[in-house]
Structure 1
């Protein structure tokens, strides 16, 4: 089964695309959200290639800051080790800096905001509202299968942006190495994945519902081919 897109067929020229000032330039921001294993990273790569966006991963920025050995990075590392949540303002500052330093003015922000507090803080601090939210909607069962690396997943993705509709054929190989940090037993792996999915539903879906009420959500329903 191919991909089904539950979204307006195109973004017409008459639609107002949110352009926001960041420093001395206008930027277009698209939030990319989806559960663990929904294929956000892979599809972001396709969008970057075909539409000229810059992909920013909140997680990658935090890891890069830790690796830099800066005072801020040490603080982030210590908070993570202590099981504390990194304040929204810290992640937002890293995102702002990345957008300002980059010559591009179109950004895909992957994996942020993760919850309503993140969302409100981002808009309050940056004064930026996303043009829209790209929500990769994938069933819990399919996410489990992808994350456990049992099968090759092949699907079609319709990417809809700024009046363009491109059909991209994508084949993803998900390797079991993604489960290295888990306990080794399949049951433990599945349990961990299900906990991650539960956290996503409880934390991130309210963000999607918030923007959906503003007619800013484009849902991409992903299905693998039948075995």
Structure 2
């Protein structure tokens, strides 16, 4: 049975970096970033990539059909049985689509949803400081934060009710955050 861990957090919370480091340190863990998967599709120049870019470039959520298809394909093709996906779900629609899929597939268990909590100020400083591309401008950052925070209470409540939500303080050093997250994941497998 494959074991799935989801990592959520504001733009700039460090969720992708944290997950990358954990996967690098543990050969039995595969990490996928929904953002990276979608950006790779955009970079490929495919028609799907052009469609995805029309959403990402404005800081909007990619339609559920595209996102869930990308994620399910990644999970099915993962080389390990422990999978970390960061940046998902970002809406109740995404959450419900994944929950529906998980309830129909007994070969996959959602072990936990880990929320990396940071202040808006920290998130903004990190995102505008890294400036990877067009999605890192102040206006787009503000839109991404709005998109992230609007459904957050409902997402937290849903996973809390299932006893799956685990919160980590993302304001500390990367080493402290990664150590806590890695130990938590190992405690669940």
Q: Is the TM value for this pair above 0.5?
A: yes
Identify if the C-alpha distance between structure 1 residues 125 and 87 changes in structure 2 by more than 3 Å, giving closer, same or farther: farther
Q: 1:43 aligns with which of 11, 15, 18?
A: 18
C-alpha distance after superposition, 1:188-218 (max 9, x if no partner): x3x5534432321112332122101221111
Describe how 1:87-106 pairs up with structure 2 within 5 A. Answer: 87-106=63-82
Q: How many residues align?
A: 168
Q: RMSD of aligned C-alpha atoms?
A: 2.9
Alignment of 1:146 with 2:122, yes or no, is no
Alignment of 1:199 with 2:147, yes or no, is yes
TM-score where L is the length of structure 2? 0.73
C-alpha distance after superposition, 1:70-105 (max 9, x if no partner): 554455456667998532122111112122222211
CA distance in 2, matches of 1:146, 1:222: 12
CA distance in 1, matches of 2:149, 2:111: 23
CA distance in 2, matches of 1:179, 1:71: 20
Identify if the C-alpha distance between structure 1 residues 28 and 77 changes in structure 2 by more than 3 Å, giving closer, same or farther: same
CA distance in 2, matches of 1:77, 1:224: 33
C-alpha distance after superposition, 1:127-148 (max 9, x if no partner): 3552100100111122223233
CA contact (8 A) 1:112 1:118 kept: yes
- The structure having more radius of gyration, on CA atoms, is 1
Larger helix fraction of residues: 2
Identify if the C-alpha distance between structure 1 residues 141 and 130 changes in structure 2 by more than 3 Å, giving closer, same or farther: same
TM-score where L is the length of structure 1? 0.62
CA distance in 2, matches of 1:181, 1:32: 20
What SS is found at the alignment partner of 2:13? coil
Which consecutive residues of structure 2, in runs of 5 or more, have no partner in the other structure? 174-189
Which consecutive residues of structure 1, in runs of 5 or more, have no partner in the other structure? 1-25, 150-174, 184-188
